[in-house]
Amino acid sequence: MEFSSIGKLLMVGGAVMFLLGAIFLFGEKIPFLGKLPGDILIRRKGYSLYFPIVTCIVLSLLGSVILSFISRR
């Protein structure tokens, strides 16, 4: 493996980490994130369960599209 390919890999990894950090930092300010129709919320006496299944699917599809555009180069 050449140093240039390792450098590219580190730059892409850094960009991914930056984007994840931005999502965690500003995630609460995105109005639809985690509140899409189909997300599961169960509230009972003493506990609550929240599973954002539709949000996970949307983010997975978005990530797949972005990675497919990156990998075509």
Mean per-residue pLDDT for 51-72? 87
> CB 47: neighbour CB atoms within 10 A?
7
The whole-number pLDDT of residue 64 equals 92
Q: Sorting pLDDT into bands at 50, 70 and 90, what band is 73?
A: low
C-alpha to C-alpha distance for 36 and 30, rounded to whole angstroms: 12
C-alpha to C-alpha distance for 45 and 39, rounded to whole angstroms: 20
- pLDDT tens across 25-61, in order? 887 777 777 778 889 989 999 999 998 899 889 889 9
Mean per-residue pLDDT for 18-23? 86
What residue segments make up the domains of the chain, in order of their start?
Answer: 1-30, 31-73
